Amino acid sequence: MSLQINLDQPPFSFLAEKELAWLKSRLDLVFFPAGEVILEVGQESPGIYILYKGVVEETDDDDQVFTQYGTEDMFDVRAVLESSCKHRFTAIEETLCYLLKAKDFIQLLNSSDDFSVYFRTDLGTQQSLVEQRGGEVSEFILAQVDGDTMRTPVYVTGQTTLVRTARMMRDEKHDALLVRDGERRGIVTGSDLLHAVLNDSLPKETRVAEVACFDLITVEEGEYLFNALLKMTQHQIERVVVTRNKEIVGVLELMDMLSTFSTHSHIVAMRIEQARSIEDLVIAAGRLESLIANLSGQGVKVMAIMSLITTLNRRLIRKAFELLVPDKLNSQVCLLVLGSEGRGEQILKTDQDNAIIIRDDHVKDALMPSLQKLHQVLLDFGYPRCPGGVMFINDAWIHTAGEWRARVGKWLNNSSPEAMMNMAILMDAEPIAGNSELFEEIRGAWHHESLRSSIAASWFARPALQFETPLTLLGNIREDHGAIDIKKGGIFPLVHGVRALAFEHGLYETNTFDRIDRLAEQEVLSKEVAQGLKDSLVLFLRIRLRHQLEKAEKNPGLTQQLKVSDLRSVDRSLLRHGLHRVKKFKQWLVSHYHLENL
Amino acid sequence: MRLPLWLKRRLPGYRPPPERWAHMEEPYTGDDVVVVDCETSEFDKKKGQLLSLAAVVVSGRSIELSSALDLTVRSDAVTHPDAVRIHYLRKEDRKHGVATADAVQQFLDFVGNRPICGFYIEYDRAILNRYIRDLYGFELPNRFIEVSELYVRQKRRYIPEVNLDLTFEGLARDLDVPVIDRHTALGDVVSTALMFIKLQKGSS
């Protein structure tokens, strides 16, 4: 019979058709009246329950609600694998569950690798399994540089004449040849030859070694194609040399990649790089959003999108800065991006968070006209005005280096929530244009040994606890507010908690993932916790991005509200795990910073 | 009213089941029931040909789907067009089924002496008895439970004069039971089983 249950989602979608059919034939149906305990603490579970209808609540010994389960959710895998139940499961509405007997479940685990990996691993792996299923098109970008993607190199010796080189290019149908000149290895391209002969009027008999470029840009075999693409973008080149343990093994051509790579990220990057006017930049900026939607739609991992978009955004702003601020002022100022942009975690444009540092002996009046223009351009790019006024056009966020240092000192002594907030904002700063040495000067102001375990660090951490983790809202119960604020509930406490630790330990990193890695290295966080936090943050960002993109189609504007019922059940269960992690982390922060009496 | 076995055996025309199913006459002591549903070629106790047959054990609150009996009968009976519209079993669909005798045997082995429960079970009982009588010369000795009767009894206890919607859908709606694959034998069996469980709970 066809059971009316949706099993096309992970983890069941990892099963082959035959296994799935078998699974369906093994299901029993169990009914529980409202209020009935389904599984008691310590009880052995008869199997895995998959909710068909109704709501089940998971509580611990002290009757604290952990989470709720709704249609298509399942519980409790741990009780089956560990043969005893840690929590109590109660039907809080009339509930109908399919029951997969424990022995049948174990048999499925043994017969399917993906299926068992899903259950036996941590959140991160579960997630990447889910993401993998999201789309197959992306495989190209996530593919690695290997024999399939690169061309075998064709060599000429440095003694070869330009004429012969040109002929070889035509015969071999290669637009670039590698040049072997003694110990040196270089590359020569068709356009190199063109410039040599036509622009520099070199005779055709010139040795190719004289025009070749010996400063090779390389990628190591096995790197992501995506990274190779970023390198090409950065250096404005169209091919990179592939190495294996420093030995050249091939050439990776942009054209080869582009023919498969349909998302145009490179084209956007090129447009930014080649822009000659602000108008050109505005057009390029307009393309970023569709690029993101495109990448996300193709199932590209959110981390990869984030790093690509961060690179592109910064280039965009830097380019605008270069176009608007006269060269002679360039070394006098430093443009900082703050907030999520500074941490490199912004995907869709939120708001302008930025600041300016001016060299001590300089006055800001000379700068203001160009900065006003820059601000306007950023608006045109699609960065809305910051509602909190954290923008360099406001007096509070444009100072000389000396003034900045004084301000930071004042904030740290003051400990008011406002001062701490400002500190938090500045801590995520990343210099992206102008003279970055100016930033180095002021950064020292909050990298004191004395700040560790000081009262300031503890005040700094406080806001992380400000919002309740919205765990119990999951499930389908409270339809009237079946939405959670993913930023307040998940992202902010995590990011801010990590920021507080970074502050305490004087880390230079601004990216949350980098900070977590560093904190794990310094053994502030255990490896497990660190991994859990990173997985959770990726998850939040991924779910939020998808949600925001979907919302944007109907009504633009960035929402932080996730409608729980819109989520796939698998995301709902991952989200639950993620929020669990955040809750634990908050508890850890409380004891770490002695915030019990809040 | 169920007659005691000794009395039943003395009735004129009583025919005992053959050896293979002799245990079906023994009184049942457990708590399980078997929910049964048949689909036939036309809605007629005398002429309706058995097309499919489903049975599932209900044990407490659990419907043991994984061991359910779900048989399509190989038969060349001409299906009444109206009936096809109800159960969607065309002649073509029945080519791959089991022989009628085979289905009846499997059913008898499955049920044993457990009580049989269904929605409008009189009809299924009549159809099954007709086949069993023709093939093996006896009738189902099991206790029968009518779900709609349980329902009426429960409702009337509180409001004696209530007007009840006694259709399958009516019961399903009132008892808040999902109708799963309506008019497939197994689908109806599952819904009926859920009605039974809910009515049990209510009457205890």
3 state DSSP class of A157: strand
Order of all β-strands in the sheet with A37-39: A37-39, A88-91, A56-59, A65-69
Q: Is residue B35 part of a domain?
A: yes
Question: What is residue A478's predicted lDDT score, i.e. its pLDDT?
Answer: 36
Evaluate if residue B72 carries a pLDDT over 70.
yes
| C-alpha span between B138 and A7 (Å, rounded) | 44
Q: At what angle do helices A527-554 and A278-297 cross, to 10 degrees?
A: 110
CATH code for A12-120? 2.60.120.10
Q: Which numeric CATH code is attached to A265-446?
A: 3.30.460.10
- A124-128, A259-263, B22-26, B187-191: which range is least confident on average? A259-263
Q: Is A1 in contact with B176 (Cβ distance < 8 A)?
A: no
Angle CA(A148)–CA(A150)–CA(A156) in degrees, nearest 5? 140
Considering only CB atoms, which chain B residues are within 8 Å of A94? 176
- Same topology for domains A265-446 and A459-592, yes or no? no
Q: How far is CA B177 from the centre of its chain?
A: 18
**Thinking of the domain A459-592, which architecture would CATH place it in?**
Up-down Bundle (1.20)
Cβ separation B181–A4 shorter than 8 A: yes
Most B CBs within 10 Å, among A2, A3, A25, A29, to test the B interface: A29
**Can you say whether the dihedral through the CA atoms of A509, A510, A511, A512 is positive or negative?**
positive
Query: Is the preceding omega at residue B76 within 30 degrees of 0, hence cis?
Result: no
Residue B101 structure tokens: 């005798």
DSSP state of A64: -
Pairing of strands B62-63, A483-485: unpaired
Query: Where are chain A's structural domains?
Result: 12-120, 144-260, 265-446, 459-592
Check CB contact under 8 Å for A31 and B63.
Answer: yes
Say whether pLDDT at B182 is over 80. no
Query: What's the confidence (pLDDT) of residue A182?
Result: 86
Give the closest-approach CA distance of B177 to chain A in angstroms. Answer: 10
Looking at residue A423, its pLDDT comes to 86
- In chain A, % helix, strand, coil (3-state, to 5) comes to 55, 15, 30
In a domain, B9, yes or no: no
By the 8 A CB rule, do A291 and A183 touch?
A: no
DSSP 3-state assignment of A25? helix
**Dihedral angle computed from the Cα positions of residues A359, A361, A364 and A365, in that order, rounded to the nearest 10 degrees:** -150
pLDDT per position as a tens digit, B96-143: 788 999 999 999 999 999 999 999 999 999 999 999 999 999 999 999
Can you give the pLDDT at residue B2?
Answer: 66
How many domains does chain B contain in total?
1
What's the CA gap between A353 and A573, in Å, rounded? 33
To the nearest whole Å, the CA of B98 is away from the closest chain A CA by 16
Q: Please tell me the predicted confidence (pLDDT) of residue A280.
A: 81
The ipTM is 0.80
Question: What is the residue range of B113's domain?
Answer: 29-203
- Residues in chain B closer than 8 A to A2 (CB atoms): 181
Cβ-contact A489, A468 below 8 angstroms: yes
Min Cα–Cα distance to chain B from A229, Å: 53
Cα distances (angstroms) measured from residue A253 to each of A129, A137, A187, A458, B2: 30, 20, 13, 52, 88
Among A391, A591, A598, A588, residue whose Cα is nearest residue A493? A588
Amino acid of residue A216 = L
Exposure pattern of B98-117 as b/e (b: 16+ CB <10 Å)?
bebeebbbebbebbbbbbbb
pLDDT of residue B59: 93
Query: Which pLDDT belongs to residue B80?
Result: 67
CB-CB neighbours of A362 under 10 Å = 15
Asked if residue B77 lies in contact with residue B90, where contact means CB atoms within 8 angstroms, the answer is: no
Yes or no, beta carbons of A1 and B186 under 8 Å apart: yes
Quote the minimal CA–CA distance from B62 to chain A in Å: 4
Which portions of chain A are predicted below pLDDT 50?
1-2, 133-139, 262-263, 473-480
For A266-279, the DSSP string reads: HHHHHHHHH--SHH
* Cβ <8 Å between B197 and A31: yes
Distance from CA of B89 to the nearest CA of A (A): 14
Residue B17 lies in a domain: no
The pair of structure tokens assigned to A562 is 């996730």
Region label for B156, one of left (φ > 0), alpha (ψ between -120 and 50) or beta (otherwise): alpha
Give the separation between CA A502 and CA A510, rounded to whole angstroms: 9
- What residue type is B138 in one-letter code? F
The Cα B147–Cα A211 span in angstroms is: 93
Residue B128: enclosing H or E segment and its boundaries?
A: helix B121-136
**Domain A144-260 is of which CATH architecture?**
Roll (3.10)
Contact yes or no for A338/A355 (Cβ under 8 A): yes
Across the interface, whether the CB atoms of B180 and A3 are under 8 A apart is answered yes
CATH number at residue B198: 3.30.420.10
> What is residue A480's predicted lDDT score, i.e. its pLDDT?
39
CA distance A375 to A150: 43
Chain A: residue nearest B175 by CA? A94
| Helix residue spans in A382-472 (DSSP H) | 401-414, 417-427, 437-443, 455-461
Q: What span, in angstroms and rounded, lies between the C-alpha atoms of A558 and A485?
A: 12
Question: Is the predicted pLDDT of residue B5 greater than 80, yes or no?
Answer: no
Q: What is the C-alpha to C-alpha distance for residues A178 and B157, in angstroms, rounded to an integer?
A: 95
Residues of A in contact with B184 (CB under 8 A): 1
Number of Cβ within a 10 Å radius of residue A479 = 9
- Give contacts of B37 with chain A, Cβ < 8 Å: none
Is residue B71's pLDDT more than 80?
Answer: yes
Q: Do the beta carbons of residue B96 and residue B74 sit within 8 Å? A: yes
In angstroms, the CA A489 to CA A305 distance is 23
Name every chain B residue with its beta carbon within 8 A of the beta carbon of A3. 180
CA gap A342, A334 in Å, rounded = 14
CB pairs < 8 Å spanning A and B: 45
Catalogue the E-assigned strands of B25-151: 33-40, 50-59, 62-63, 69-72, 116-118, 144-146
Is B162 contained in some domain? yes
**A74: how many CB neighbours lie within 10 A of its CB?**
18
Closest CA to A511 of A424, A438, A429, A425: A429
How far is Cα B172 from Cα A523, in angstroms, rounded to an integer?
A: 60
Q: What is the pLDDT of residue B201?
A: 66
